[in-house]
Structure 1
Amino acid sequence: MKFFSSLAAAASLLATVSAHGGVGVYTIGTTKYQGWSPYNSASGQKSIQRQYGSFNPLLIADLGTANIRCNNDGTALGTGVSASLAAGDTIKTTWTQWTHRPAAVLIYMAKCPSAGCDSFNGAGAVWFKIDHAGLISGTEGKGIWAGDQIVDTLNWTVTIPKTLAPGPYLIRHELLALHQANNPQFYPECAQLTVTGSGTASPPSSLLVSFPGAYSATDPGINFNIDSTAAMSATSYPIPGPAVWDGTSTGGGSGTGSGSGSGGDAPSQPSQPAVSAAPATTLVTSAAPAQTSALSCEPVARYGQCGGSNYAGCTACASGSTCTKNGDYYSQCM
């Protein structure tokens, strides 16, 4: 009986982890920047992404903690690694594996001090939203949501406001999973950027928020029951947080990414960029350790990630466990 209980617990954990995820790769132009590998040792990892511990979600109880900032307290790694792009450029994020549906997508930025992002943990009312999308079409209970795109393709593309003043910034991607009634799950990750260009604009203070502080458990989009009678007929979803900054000094917008919408407004179908022949991409190896062999890395602990598409960590498991494939995007030591 004890064996079967342990087996059931392991299967339950695998099912839970396989339904969670985080941003694993950032693509700017033809350059890919590897994200953090949360289940591997921090030793030797260098990434534009802030360190975080697991694919597990944050919950309503975490809204008052600094962990809601970047899936940790926002503390920098001190590696000096950031990705450079011009204002008006796009940045594509690729998740390590699928997450729950339905879900909203929210993307924020924060200006770092002139000394750079390595000395900045994202505290204070410094965050402004550059994109968000929630319900795209249909009803809340039975409709198409922005997060469906990430479940289906694992990708999301957003444009940096063209008028944004140059400098060091954090970018924060967040999925808000709404599959459990009144018990949403938050999946935020942050990365360091250096924005270039001739822009001069910054968002007004009225659109700046802090983490924690931007969300409340009583916000309609958080205190939300996807299974309620009202959700079966409602055709708009109130996305939490401030309005999207549209790049002007005073105004807000309704979203600028590959799937855009606005809380309370009529939902719209997301537009996709035209498909064209893609140039060769370059993986920035300085932003992450190279794929390591079973003989040259610290074995991954049981239940840690050991493989999958875009994975760049150790593939050897600790004694007593084996690297087990769970789809194309995630393998786990079991």
Structure 2
Amino acid sequence: MKLSTVVITASVLSAASAHGGVGQYITGSTTYKGWEPYNSPSGQSSIQRQYSTFDPILVAGLSTVNIRCNNAGTLGTGPIGQVAAGGAIKAHWTQWTHRPASVLVYMAKCPSSGCNGWDGSGKVWFKIDHQGLVSGTQNAGKWAGDTILDTLNWTSTIPASLQPGDYLVRHELIAVHQANNPQCSSGTASPPNSYLVSFPGAYSASDPGIDFNIDSEAAKVATTYPIPGPSVWSGGSGGGQEPAPTTTASPSTTFVTSMTPTSAPTSPPTCTAAKYDQCGGKGFGGCTTCAAGLTCKSNGEYYSQCL
């Protein structure tokens, strides 16, 4: 089965930041190179769609086309990857995003003309994987984003019954670390209409998992988190399931990836950054001083965070 992958690594937040991007896609013994957003596009060839920045999409971006693939006008970059239905796709990030975050993975079947000239519009996206709060409380527990911070990897399984064809696969990270911030085989099956969503359109700023305050009193005792978007489609005709975050399967996939940007923080440089806020990095113009008791720690050339 051929798949075209539009991979979005983004945080959909108001005044927040999830900085990072998928740099490799691994299917079985094959590794596909991701796009390099800060290098010239000249000579680059990737299964991932072009994107220009590690900056995340803010709440205002929920209604823009950038939420699909992190770049409003640029479509495919050429090659695609291969993966068998029932196989696994491992996304490897080049640098860290944010620790308290949920991870969501979507797919969309491309038209007969292929993925490179298609913008992913319409009610065509279905979710194959997601994980939010893993254990403990919302405020102090372990989140799916901890896995990416610790390993820089996230592995998802393609539904075994999925109809053959070219697909976009979309990886999304929703950082939840700030208060009050809404934040692309064999088989014959296709997901029912009830599992399909469009981007933009899948999320609302008032969704519980978007309009979320991790520092609220309720978050200090809540042990579940409402992951935004539709239920996971696992390949059957019944209800969705939440698959395990990793898998040992190792086939191969076809991708055209793209990542999700967002507006950069606009806090004045004289302000004080709170816990989990960005406090530095290449091109950053916001607060560089952390609140009392916190330290500005670097997570790569483009991002530092108050911890």
Partner of 1:217: 205
Partner of 2:177: 179
Q: Does 1:229 align with 2:227?
A: no
Q: Does 1:205 align with 2:193?
A: yes
Q: Does 1:85 align with 2:73?
A: no
Change in 2 beyond 3 A, CA 1:233/1:331: closer
> What's the offset of the Cα at 1:99?
1.1
Partner of 1:22: 21
Q: Residue 140 of structure 1: which of 132, 138, 141 is its match?
A: 138
Q: Distance in 1 between matches of 2:164 and 2:234?
A: 16
Where does 1:278-289 land on structure 2 (aligned, <5 Å)?
Answer: none
Where does 1:148-159 land on structure 2 (aligned, <5 Å)?
Answer: 148-159=146-157
Aligned length: 247
Q: Does structure 1 retain, via aligned residues, the 8 Å contact 2:34–2:47?
A: yes
Partner of 1:42: 41
> What's the offset of the Cα at 1:78?
5.0
Runs (5+) with no aligned partner, structure 1: 1-15, 191-196, 259-271, 279-283, 288-301, 305-325
Q: Distance in 2 between matches of 1:203 and 1:143?
A: 33
> What's the offset of the Cα at 1:254?
1.7
> What's the offset of the Cα at 1:73?
2.7
User: What is the CA deviation profile of residues 209-243 of structure 1, one whole-angstrom value per residue up to 9, with x for unaligned ones?
Assistant: 00000000000000000000000000100000000
| Larger-Rg structure | 1
Q: Distance in 2 between matches of 1:62 and 1:41?
A: 25
Q: Distance in 2 between matches of 1:115 and 1:273?
A: 33
> What's the offset of the Cα at 1:257?
3.2
Secondary structure, in 3 states, of the residue corresponding to 1:156? Answer: strand
AA matched with 2:49: R
Partner of 1:111: 109
Partner of 2:127: 129
AA matched with 1:142: A
Q: Does structure 1 retain, via aligned residues, the 8 Å contact 2:131–2:144?
A: yes
AA matched with 1:85: V
User: What is the CA deviation profile of residues 147-196 of structure 1, one whole-angstrom value per residue up to 9, with x for unaligned ones?
Assistant: 100011100001000000000000000010111112255xxxx4xxxxxx
Q: Distance in 2 between matches of 1:19 and 1:210?
A: 22
AA matched with 2:32: Y
Q: Distance in 1 between matches of 2:85 and 2:160?
A: 5
User: What is the CA deviation profile of residues 279-334 of structure 1, one whole-angstrom value per residue up to 9, with x for unaligned ones?
Assistant: xxxxx9xx9xxxxxxxxxxxxxx948xxxxxxxxxxxxxxxxxxxxx97x8457xx
Q: Does 1:102 align with 2:90?
A: no
Higher helix share: 1
Q: Distance in 1 between matches of 2:140 and 2:206?
A: 23
Greater relative contact order, per chain length (Cα 8 Å cut-off, separation 6+): 2
Given the two structures, how large is their TM-score scaled by the length of structure 2? 0.75
Taking only aligned residues, the RMSD between alpha carbons, in angstroms, comes to: 2.7
Q: Distance in 2 between matches of 1:110 and 1:29?
A: 22
> What's the offset of the Cα at 1:43?
1.2
Change in 2 beyond 3 A, CA 1:165/1:53: same
AA matched with 1:222: I
AA matched with 2:151: T
AA matched with 1:224: F
> What's the offset of the Cα at 1:66?
0.4
Q: Does structure 2 retain, via aligned residues, the 8 Å contact 1:100–1:177?
A: yes
Structure 1 outlier segments of 4+, above 6 Å: 16-19
Q: Distance in 2 between matches of 1:203 and 1:38?
A: 33
Secondary structure, in 3 states, of the residue corresponding to 2:156? Answer: strand
User: What is the CA deviation profile of residues 85-122 of structure 1, one whole-angstrom value per residue up to 9, with x for unaligned ones?
Assistant: 10011010100111112000000000000121012110
Kindly, what percent of the aligned residue pairs are identical?
Answer: 64
229-238 vs 18-27, which deviates more?
A: 18-27
User: What is the CA deviation profile of residues 236-289 of structure 1, one whole-angstrom value per residue up to 9, with x for unaligned ones?
Assistant: 00000000001013431123432xxxxxxxxxxxxx649xxx9xxxxx9xx9xx
AA matched with 1:229: E
Given the two structures, how large is their TM-score scaled by the length of structure 1? 0.69
